[in-house]
Amino acid sequence: MLKSIAKLASLAGALALITSVATARDLVINFDDLNPGPKKGFDDAVEAFRAAYPDINVIVNNTDREAHKTAIRNFLTNDAPDVTSWYPGNRMAPFVDAGLFADISDLWASDENLSSNFEAIKPTMTRDGKQWGVPYSYYQWGVYYRKDIFDKLNLAEPKTWDELLSACDVMTENGVTPFSIGTKFLWTAAGVFDYLNLRTNGYDVHNGLTAGEIKYTDDRIRATFANWATMLERCSFVKNHATMSWQEAIAPFANGDAAMYVMGNFAVDGFKNADLTEDQIDFFQFPEITPGLARAEEAPADALFIPAKAKNKEDARLFLSFVAQADIQSQWNKTIGQLPPNSAAAINEDDKFIVEGFATVSTAAGLAQFFDRDAPAAMAKAGMEGFQKFMLEPGSLDEILENLDKVQAEVY
């Protein structure tokens, strides 16, 4: 019986093949953020695309971010969508190397908007000299601080390392812990390290380190850790940071026990949820350490990619060049409170963090993606464990650096 069904099916299928070409232009997109803001930003962009191309049938699968990280490993080989969200930098490397993402260099070359307005972020999307995706958003990192505490102690935003250290001394004297941080999930410590290294050694050395060209026991990296040791001594972090997540570490910041927080712009939402008002919090760029060094910033981007197995690559490319447009990027990032990678796009002038963040990253000499996106995952894991260990046991620095060298030798 089953055989006859199969026979019938194949007969009808053959007929269908002859009589009609692909019936509908289906475009399947896998996205990875269910939080209300990001979901709305994405959905609006899809709606705009539907309006512009009514004959394309867009199908959206939106899943939770962590689930997406697991699922992508399967769906890229088994049942690929036409477009998927993922991260650039080294996070895309395994998929690029396994040939699972489609090369879209020709799109970057032929699309006028992509070729002219994405210069700053293009290197992040590039691997082996080719481009693999289109970024839709990025955000700045820096120091978020309690403006009311700074005012009370007559402190100004520190511009240099010495200013920061003396500001910390004032805070400590007044019973305020300078920095809040929660290192339970490790990556927050990498933010501090990245900035210390970018300010001590500059973008090229930092890049060389995460690319595996410079050893951790290098004197320049040791200088970074020496500055970190100074920071631990004079600009100390909250106690018990090893048991807290970054969200839990907002509590001492909101309570006024700690005055500063090295974080990405997504944290502003968390601060506001902890009943801090816009007037109480503000942002400054991580202060200069080595004078005269070109200022590089941390600015992780989120991007969209086309799987190599996508069924409808033509329309997928259409979608990518559509979301790269200035007006779409402006609207999307206004909704999610982040920065548009398109340099021709407008930013949300009403959001002081976005305005300051844009000023910070658009004038930066180089943009780092974040330690765990710049370094391969296995190196990032070991590195971040090392950073946490250093924060808890600064005395074991040599041991930490030697171990990181060992991991580095294995991973690259």
Q: Which residues bind other proteins (CB under 8 A)?
A: 1-3, 6, 9, 12-13, 16-17, 20, 23-24, 26, 28, 57, 59, 69-70, 73, 76-79, 91, 94-95, 97-100, 146, 148-149, 152-153, 174-176, 183-186, 239-244, 248, 251, 255-257, 308-309, 377-378, 381, 385-386, 388-389, 392-393, 403, 406, 410
Distance CA 104, CA 89 (A): 16
Of 123, 75, 119, 124, give the one whose Cα is nearest residue 101: 75
Decide whether 229 or 326 has the Cβ nearer to other proteins. Answer: 229
Decide whether 73 or 159 has the Cβ nearer to other proteins. Answer: 73
Decide whether 50 or 389 has the Cβ nearer to other proteins. Answer: 389
Distance CA 194, CA 192 (A): 6
Alpha-helical (H) ranges within 153-244 are 161-173, 187-201, 203-210, 219-234
Decide whether 176 or 214 has the Cβ nearer to other proteins. Answer: 176
Strands 141-146 and 258-264, how do they pair? antiparallel
C-beta neighbour count of 314 within 10 angstroms: 12
Task: Give least dist CB 16 to other proteins, A.
Answer: 5
Task: Give least dist CB 55 to other proteins, A.
Answer: 14
Give the dihedral sign, CA 244/380/300/44.
negative
Decide whether 100 or 104 has the Cβ nearer to other proteins. Answer: 100
Distance CA 126, CA 121 (A): 9
Query: What is the DSSP-derived secondary structure letter of residue 287?
Result: P
Structure tokens at 327: 């007006």
Distance CA 382, CA 251 (A): 28
Task: Give least dist CB 124 to other proteins, A.
Answer: 18
Structure tokens at 190: 């990498």
Of 93, 94, 30, give the one whose Cα is nearest residue 58: 30
Task: Give least dist CB 222 to other proteins, A.
Answer: 19
Task: Give least dist CB 158 to other proteins, A.
Answer: 18
Decide whether 202 or 252 has the Cβ nearer to other proteins. Answer: 252
Strands 130-131 and 281-284, how do they pair? unpaired
The answer to whether the CB of 260 falls within 8 A of the CB of 139 is no
**Any residues with CB less than 8 A from the CB of 263 and at least 6 apart, and which?**
141, 142, 144, 188, 191, 246
Decide whether 148 or 356 has the Cβ nearer to other proteins. Answer: 148
Strands 366-368 and 296-298, how do they pair? parallel
Distance CA 308, CA 306 (A): 6
Task: Give least dist CB 234 to other proteins, A.
Answer: 18
Structure tokens at 285: 């760029």
Task: Give least dist CB 362 to other proteins, A.
Answer: 30
Task: Give least dist CB 96 to other proteins, A.
Answer: 11
Task: Give least dist CB 403 to other proteins, A.
Answer: 6
CA distances from 132 to 107, 242, 304, 307 (A): 10, 37, 9, 10
Decide whether 24 or 51 has the Cβ nearer to other proteins. Answer: 24
Decide whether 220 or 311 has the Cβ nearer to other proteins. Answer: 311
The CA-based angle 129-357-143, given to 5 degrees, is: 105
Decide whether 58 or 296 has the Cβ nearer to other proteins. Answer: 58
Residue 107's H or E segment, with its range, is helix 105-110
Task: Give least dist CB 287 to other proteins, A.
Answer: 22
